[in-house]
Amino acid sequence: MTATTDGSTGAALPSSVAAASDTDTDIPVAAGAPDIAADAMRRATEFLLSRQDDQGWWKGDLETNVTMDAEDLLLRQFLGILEEETTRAAALFIRGEQREDGTWATFYGGPGDLSATIEAYVALRLAGDRPDAPHMARAAAWVRDRGGVAASRVFTRIWLALFGWWKWEDLPELPPELIWFPSWVPLNIYDFGCWARQTIVPLTIVSAQRPVRPAPFPLDELHTDPARPNPPGRMAPAISWDGAFQRLDKGLHALRRAVPRRLRRAAMNTAARWIIERQENDGCWGGIQPPAVYSVIALHLLGYDLNHPVMRAGLRSLDRFAVWREDGARMIEACQSPVWDTCLATIALADAGLPADHPRLVRAADWMLGEQVVRPGDWSVRRPGLAPGGWAFEFHNDNYPDIDDTAEVVLALRRVKHHDPERVDNAIGRGVRWNLGMQSRNGAWGAFDVDNTSPFPNRLPFCDFGEVIDPPSADVTAHVVEMLAVEGLAHDPRTRRGIRWLLAEQEPDGSWFGRWGVNYLYGTGSVVPALVAAGLPGSHPAVRRAVSWLESVQNEDGGWGEDLRSYRDSREWSGKGASTPSQTGWALMALLAAGEKESAAVERGITWLAATQHEDGSWDEPYFTGTGFPWDFSINYHLYRQVFPLTALGRYVNGEPFAKPPAARPAEAPGVQPGADTAAAGAPGTGAPQQPAEAKGG
């Protein structure tokens, strides 16, 4: 791992501040919590400012797991462009992530993962590591003990099939004719979440083509029985959903031989046009690495040579996901998070007391304004009458702005005193209208799409890894509700529907599930500030239950932490884990919003943050506290450890930023009609007028 700690997060601290002298900080023993917080806040502010790019943005490394690095090498091997320096650097990183038992995990401190271990092993074989080397032999033995390649997930076996290490006929069928399904037909591509959609469309071409490149070596050592590497799987009962979809897959395999060649070619060409139309200006697809990898393979199989402009741009974009370490290792990011990191950093610095007109904040606001998406994307399939106006997560991703980023960018922009307030108001107005128009039928919000809740995609045998749909979540809904409240729309019927949904989603213990962060701490840390901002008093029963839960799961050292295992076993792991700076920040943000500033729990949490802070104002956080897919794909956002502690410290010292809304701000966001329902914001079939698209940057 890249963290400099051994995984511990500091010695346990009692509530007395005297224990702070046991840490490597310069906090005076006699200081009280407010003084300690102010000093820690000052140092954290200086550190975060030092990490801002000259253009105004922040971006921390986005660390996931070694499958990104392994698949990058496999792609280059498949295309015939694997070269020595890249291979050596990737192998150095992959070896460094191997655990003592020979396995690779998908998050820090997690258990060994079969598919990740297989892919890492194959990548090291490509790099020249011998199968009889001790570290390789341990990995292979563990893989065989867990069922071998046959027990791995579908995506791993697809990569192996590209080189003949697995049979294509033993993989689920994914016909390219899916591209022609209209949006009202079950299992059309828009029934999938945008990340899955961008991956599945190119994979329909790969599945239809079934390419095989000569394998550079055998992989017999990864099979439980090399003479019978592809054992038949078990069929579920026909009357079950799983059984029905297994039989559907068998039917698709049989149909493959009957589909006219011209029809299949036409479907693949349609899919190729769909892919090319969604390539971003920087050559990537959706700003994330997996769709880019599969899109490059699919287009290559259709005859696009590596010098074609689309392919050249795509390959160049993949190089931008590489993070080169000082030791010469090369880590691949699954995506990059500059918009998300920048809005969170802006919020943290403003809440920490940086003047609203500070040049650094104004520069950040200018950059965010220039990133607003003002053209339709895939979301407009379900909302054709809605004007664009959201923000995406990445540098280049105009096809898939997301509701969460849009809400947080608006909250960030409202904290900045910009020299062109009209430009800011216009941008915010577009963002608010777009978010309101993306409200789902149940009153809540998903991340990228409206009502993306079909039960069928998750049933496909192909979809055995991670989330493939995008239903509303408590954390995204909370951020939207908080944003609407700040914009003077707390009493709008659409906001109230979101609040009712959040209240209904509260867990019996008082917490909320966190879809995009780990886990109940993230959900609760998002929802409580939103409810209070929307007008619920700290005495509200839902808020009091949340406070009681947070106090009950505080660690003895004063911090908070939650392990990713809570996604698998909430009873055992909810709110439990080693203390981390980001999760402690989330808990404190909720408690402070609930009016608990003077509580012992808050004092102990503030003390823990100050005691674990480094001299330069930073924190260490080896643990993964971000979520891509609950349990299956976890993220360590390297900037989380800075922005969330600083936000909590700032609110402790300075109070809630919008406790009293500025009198100069209008009661309603520009262009938003109070009391209008979701349909009036541009839902299909309402006849709502299309708002004029404006130049990017407003």
The structure tokens listed for 673 are 């009609």
C-alpha 382/C-alpha 678 separation (Å) is: 13
The predicted structure's pLDDT at residue 236: 67
Q: Is it true that 33-60+337-452+475-672 and 67-225+262-332 share their CATH fold?
A: yes
Question: Residue 29 pLDDT more than 50?
Answer: no
Instruction: Tell me the residue type at 19.
Output: A
pLDDT band for 229, please (50, 70, 90 cuts).
confident
pLDDT band for 683, please (50, 70, 90 cuts).
very low
In terms of residues, how long is the chain? 698
How many other β-carbons are positioned within 10 Å of the β-carbon of residue 187?
15
Cα 509 versus chain centre, distance: 26
The predicted-structure confidence for 407-443, as pLDDT tens digits, reads as follows 999 999 999 999 999 999 999 999 999 999 999 999 9
What three-state secondary structure class fits 335? strand
pLDDT band for 658, please (50, 70, 90 cuts).
confident
The predicted structure's pLDDT at residue 14: 28
C-alpha 285/C-alpha 276 separation (Å) is: 9
Tracing tokens 């190119």 back to the chain, one arrives at: 202
What three-state secondary structure class fits 324? strand
* DSSP character at residue 502: H
C-alpha 150/C-alpha 170 separation (Å) is: 10
Residue range 33-60+337-452+475-672 forms a domain whose CATH class is mainly alpha
C-alpha 496/C-alpha 530 separation (Å) is: 12
What three-state secondary structure class fits 424? helix
**Known active-site residue 405:** no
The contacts of residue 216 (CB under 8 Å, 6+ apart) are 77, 125, 126, 163
The predicted-structure confidence for 12-24, as pLDDT tens digits, reads as follows 322 322 333 333 3
pLDDT band for 278, please (50, 70, 90 cuts).
very high
The predicted structure's pLDDT at residue 24: 36
On whether the CB atoms of residues 395 and 635 are closer than 8 A, the answer is no
The predicted-structure confidence for 57-68, as pLDDT tens digits, reads as follows 999 999 999 999
On whether the CB atoms of residues 293 and 283 are closer than 8 A, the answer is no
The structure tokens listed for 357 are 């007109």
On whether the CB atoms of residues 484 and 527 are closer than 8 A, the answer is no
The structure tokens listed for 490 are 């707390």
How many alpha carbons fall within 13 Å on the CB side of residue 436?
A: 31
Cα 146 versus chain centre, distance: 29
The predicted-structure confidence for 39-48, as pLDDT tens digits, reads as follows 999 999 999 9
The predicted structure's pLDDT at residue 499: 98
C-alpha 428/C-alpha 358 separation (Å) is: 20
- The torsion angles phi and psi of 517, rounded to 5 degrees, stand at -150, 160
- Of the candidates 248, 666, 691, the one whose C-alpha atom is nearest the C-alpha of residue 462 is 248
- Of the candidates 619, 452, 590, 443, the one whose C-alpha atom is nearest the C-alpha of residue 514 is 590
pLDDT band for 492, please (50, 70, 90 cuts).
very high
C-alpha 351/C-alpha 608 separation (Å) is: 20
Report the share of the chain in percent with pLDDT over 70.
87
On whether the CB atoms of residues 199 and 290 are closer than 8 A, the answer is yes
Q: What is the mean pLDDT of the chain?
A: 89
Instruction: Tell me which of 93-107, 247-261, 321-335, 458-472 is least confident.
Output: 247-261
Task: Write out 644-670 in H/E/C secondary structure.
Answer: HHHHHHHHHHHCCCCCCCCCCCCCCCC
Higher-confidence position of 683 and 384: 384
Domain spans of the chain, in order of start: 33-60+337-452+475-672, 67-225+262-332
C-alpha 263/C-alpha 79 separation (Å) is: 27
- The torsion angles phi and psi of 271, rounded to 5 degrees, stand at -60, -40
From 366, 378, 398, 404, active-site residue:
404
The predicted structure's pLDDT at residue 31: 58
Strand partners, 62: 637
The contacts of residue 51 (CB under 8 Å, 6+ apart) are 58, 60, 639, 642
- The torsion angles phi and psi of 636, rounded to 5 degrees, stand at -110, 100
pTM of the predicted model as reported, rounded to 2 decimal places: 0.89
How many alpha carbons fall within 13 Å on the CB side of residue 444?
A: 22
The predicted structure's pLDDT at residue 265: 96
In 217-329, beta strands by DSSP E: 322-324
C-alpha 673/C-alpha 492 separation (Å) is: 9
Distances in whole angstroms, Cα of residue 256 to Cα of each of 154, 177, 209, 261, 264: 19, 11, 11, 10, 9
The predicted structure's pLDDT at residue 372: 98
Question: Residue 237 pLDDT more than 90?
Answer: no
The predicted structure's pLDDT at residue 673: 55
The predicted structure's pLDDT at residue 679: 37
On whether the CB atoms of residues 73 and 667 are closer than 8 A, the answer is no
Instruction: Tell me the residue type at 56.
Output: G
C-alpha 172/C-alpha 46 separation (Å) is: 53
Question: Residue 694 pLDDT more than 60?
Answer: no
The contacts of residue 247 (CB under 8 Å, 6+ apart) are 235, 238
Mean pLDDT, range 593-619, rounded to an integer: 97
pLDDT band for 663, please (50, 70, 90 cuts).
very low
- The torsion angles phi and psi of 130, rounded to 5 degrees, stand at -80, 145
C-alpha 287/C-alpha 280 separation (Å) is: 8
The predicted structure's pLDDT at residue 698: 29
Q: 183: burial class by Cβ within 10 Å (0-12, 13-18, 19+)? A: exposed
- Of the candidates 291, 281, 259, the one whose C-alpha atom is nearest the C-alpha of residue 189 is 291
Question: Residue 274 pLDDT more than 60?
Answer: yes
The predicted structure's pLDDT at residue 630: 94
Higher-confidence position of 685 and 413: 413
The predicted-structure confidence for 67-114, as pLDDT tens digits, reads as follows 999 999 999 999 999 999 999 999 999 999 999 999 999 999 999 999
pLDDT band for 460, please (50, 70, 90 cuts).
confident
Pick the CATH number of 67-225+262-332 from 1.50.10.20, 3.40.50.300, 1.20.1730.10, 3.30.1050.10: 1.50.10.20
- The torsion angles phi and psi of 549, rounded to 5 degrees, stand at -65, -45
The structure tokens listed for 401 are 């702005």
The structure tokens listed for 28 are 């005076």
Strand partners, 525: none
The predicted-structure confidence for 535-571, as pLDDT tens digits, reads as follows 999 999 999 999 999 999 999 999 999 999 999 999 9
Buried b / exposed e along 506-528 (16+ C-beta atoms within 10 A): bbebbbbbbbbbbbbbbbbbbbb
The predicted structure's pLDDT at residue 458: 82
Mean pLDDT, range 512-528, rounded to an integer: 98
How many alpha carbons fall within 13 Å on the CB side of residue 218?
A: 6
On whether the CB atoms of residues 43 and 650 are closer than 8 A, the answer is no
Using left for φ > 0, alpha for ψ between -120 and 50, and beta otherwise, residue 682 falls in left
